[in-house]
Every structure is written in C-alpha cells, then in structure tokens.
Structure 1
C-alpha cells in the first residue's frame, strides 16, 4: 500500500510450496544416510563427513529461514532498500538505472520462483530484490511497471535506456553465465570425485578424499569459469528479458 507517497514493502506473504519442503526433507535424509555409510572410525576415511554435512545443513536451513522471514524490499520516496539474509543495501533513486523482471535461471523448475526482480545500477551491476517475484505476487511485471511510474517523479533521470549502461549489463551477464557454468562443472566434478573416493576406500586405498572431493572440483570450476569468461567476452548474451 502507498502511505504518504511511494512507500511499499515486499515481504514473505505466502508459504513455499509443500513440494519444496518435501524435497528439502528428502535431501536431508539422503545426506544423513550417505554420510552414515561412509563414516569410518578405524583408519580415518570419512570421519569428517558427518560434522561437515551437519554444518552445511545448518547453514542451508538458517539461510532459508532468514530469506523467508528477514528479507524484504522497501521502496520509499528517498530510494529503495533490499535486505537479504545477512545484510541490507539502500540505493537513492539517482543511483538506480532500472528495475527489471527477468526469468529465473534454467533448471529451477517449479521448486523456485520463475520470475525474479533485479535492480540495475549505472555500472551495469545487478542486485536481487527479495520477495518481488511470482511466488509472492500474482503479477510481478505489472507491480514493477506501476512502481516505476510511481517513482518517476523522484528520479533526476527518466526511465530511459542508455547504450553505455546496456553494454555494461551485457558484459556482466556474460561473466555471470561463465561462472555459473563453472559452478555446474565443479558440481559435476565433485560427483565424479565422490565416486572415485568411494571406490578407493572400498578397495582399501584411500587417497586424500578431502582433496579429491573438495580441491579438484574447485580447481576445475575456476578453470572452466575463466575459460568461458574469456570465450564469451566478445560474445555477450542478449539483453535479459523484462516481462513474463
């Protein structure tokens, strides 16, 4: 609602789908079973597995809870504030280049919002605006369009595209794409190294499983991300979609 001008706050209004919680529970149980099977008190092995897994699960659950109950997006006549799980950031209106509704990354399926809202600054940097998505709003694109019209009088510049900023946005989009694929490659390599480590333990030849499961995937992801960033540097992707 508007109160004395443009004052809107977007928080969690709806619960996540039940399937989302079921999947999270299934992943938790599977992880517990797997780390239990690999636990070895005799000769080292995966003794560190259960505590590391417990730490990761606690961190993931804490982040989910903070995203649901602490995060928000607040819009006022002075600017816009995005508070995430751990920190918040505020932009004055003259620092905001654009606010765009974009399709979520591929592979998220129905277990995550399909349309997300981002703030772009004049350096081409992109920042997620929490709870301005299709989980919490019936039509985020209409909401953002209305928000842009309502805040136009408080900006020193019109909501108009600028070629230099659009170029920066495309370059940064190419960088994000490269490092996203680097992260995917690291996860794939982690799965491979996990199988290799289990095979070595089964055959009685454990050989630095922490290095295989942690070090090799990280190094592979960094190399892949760097190569793809170099490759896509002169081939930036198309401008992000702005409406559903």
Structure 2
C-alpha cells in the first residue's frame, strides 16, 4: 500500500513544472537593442528633429514600451499543474484547463534574428493558440523532448488521448490564415505610419499651415491601410496548416 501511495505522489509531482527565464538574451541581440535605443536618444536630442510636443509623445511611448518589455521578461512564466497550464505575462495570467487544451506543439518561427527559433504553442479546442513563455530552445536544451515528456505526464489529467480531430484542425488552419493576414497588414500599416511621420515632420518644418491634416493623417492613414490590407490578404490567402 505504501508503495502505491508513493507512486501516486511521484505522478502528481511529475506534472508540477515551472518554466522561468534561465538564460539572458544573447550579446548580439543586446547590442542591437542598444543601437536602436542610442539612435532614438540621438534623434530626440536633435533640436531640429521634431517639435517638442511630438517629441514628448514619442518619449512617453518608448518609456511605456520599455516598462512593458522589462515586466514581460521579469514576470514571464509558464506553470504546469494537475489542473492545467497558466502563462504569466507582464500584467496578466492566462489559464487553460487540461480538458480545454487540444494540443501542445513546438513550431519554428520565421524570424531569423531572434534567440529562440523553436517556440511552444498551446492550442485549445476552438483553434486559438497561446505561446508558452520560456518553453523554447533558448531556455531549454531540448524543447521537443521536454514538450513530449510534458504531454505524456499530462495524459492522465486530460481524460482523453492526444489525437488529431479534423474539425479542430480546420479551425486552426482558418485562424492561421487570418493571423498571417493580420501580421502582413500590420507591417504595411507600420510603413504607412513611418511615411506619415516623415510627411508630418516636413509639414511642420515647412510651416505649411496644415498641421491638423498631417496629425489626422498620422492617426487614420495607418488604420485605413491596416483594414484594407487585412481584407486584401485574406482574399488572396489560401488555408494553411497551423505551423505555416
């Protein structure tokens, strides 16, 4: 009897895992970040760069972004237990019960200049996905083996086998198409945003008398471009697998 109880306790401990930040960012990525920040500081220090009120807005946005990034790194955590998986970010915690989890998948990211190339995603029964913070090949020596071991340990808590279901795969594929369209549209909107900033700087420096128009252009042009590009990319995209 005692041996059975001890085995049960070992099984319970086996699913209790916590993935926190173990390795700092690489030197190359840290150097690139420093270059970006130094260039931003240099541009803000130039008296003829942008007007003071716009400079203040840019600095405020950069500070907010820096605070979010700092908290995301310091607080980022994925915890696994008998009741499910919880992912803690900068300001909130997202939880998924085991019976709501469809699959755990290790997927290669398209970005080449990132430290982590293999990321782990949690897919729910509705086809939505959630990134598992610090469950990647930068923080773990063998992330695929870790996730496979995690799937094995979690099998008894899910109440069902890890098997593919066509209806969920269809939802994942549809959401992948939408996500890809949104990512491409976001890139296009950012390009429009920077173009609008260039026009705004030129308009203010030339004192053409249309600053209100330029400010509205800075706000609405990227939004209009995003909406248009999302629609265009969705129409041109075909359904693709979740790892695409």
Residue 57 to residue 237, structure 1, CA distance change in 2 (3 Å): same
Match of 1:159 in 2: 162
Maintained 8 Å contact 1:173/1:237: yes
Structure of higher CA gyration radius: 2
Partner residue in 2 for 1:46? 51
> Aligned partners of 2:11 and 2:217: how far apart in 1?
55
Structure 2 Cα separation of the partners of residues 222 and 73 of structure 1: 34
Structure 1 Cα separation of the partners of residues 202 and 185 of structure 2: 26
Residue 73 in structure 1 maps to residue 82 in structure 2: no
> Paired residue for 2:145, among 124, 142, 145?
142
Aligned residue in 1 for 2:121: 118
Deviation larger for 136-145 or 57-66: 57-66
Structure 1 counterpart of 2:23:
14
The answer to whether 1:223 aligns with 2:228 is: yes
Residue 212 of structure 1 deviates from its aligned partner by 2.8
Separation of aligned partners in 2, 1:28 and 1:206: 32
Distance in structure 2 (CA, Å) of the matches to 1:177 and 1:38: 40
- Tell me the distance in 2 between the aligned counterparts of 1:7 and 1:100: 19
1:192 to 189, 192, 195: 195
How far is 1:7 from its partner? 0.6
Q: Structure 2: where are the runs of 5+ without partners?
A: 1-9
Unaligned 5+ runs, structure 1:
none
**TM-score, with structure 1 as normaliser:** 0.87
Structure 1 residues 112 and 59: alpha-carbon distance in aligned structure 2, compared to 1, 3 A threshold:
farther
Q: Which residue pairs with 1:86 in the alignment?
A: 91
Per-residue deviation, residues 105-132 of structure 1 (Å, max 9, x unmatched): x3x3233421111100000001111000
Q: Given that residues 172 and 241 in structure 2 are in contact (C-alpha distance below 8 angstroms), is that contact kept between their aligned partners in structure 1?
A: no
Q: Deviations over 1:190-240 (max 9, x none)?
A: 2222232333334332533332333212221122112222443xx212331
With over 3 angstroms needed to count, the CA separation of the structure-2 counterparts of 1:31 and 1:213, relative to structure 1, is farther
Higher helix share: 2
SS in 1 for 2:43: helix
Between 71-80 and 22-31, report the one with greater CA deviation.
22-31
SS in 2 for 1:129: strand
**1:129 lines up with 2:129 in the alignment:** no
CA distances 1:66-85 after superposition (whole Å, capped 9, x unpaired): 12111111111111111111
| RMSD across aligned positions (CA) | 2.2
Counterparts in 2 of 1:225 and 1:25: CA distance versus 1, 3 Å: same
Count of residues paired in the alignment? 233
Q: Sort the Cα spacing of 1:143 and 1:206 in 2 relative to 1 into closer, same or farther, 3 A.
A: farther
> Which aligned pairs between 1:55-74 and structure 2 lie closer than 5 A?
55-74=60-79
Counterpart Cα distance in 2 of 1:26 and 1:86: 27
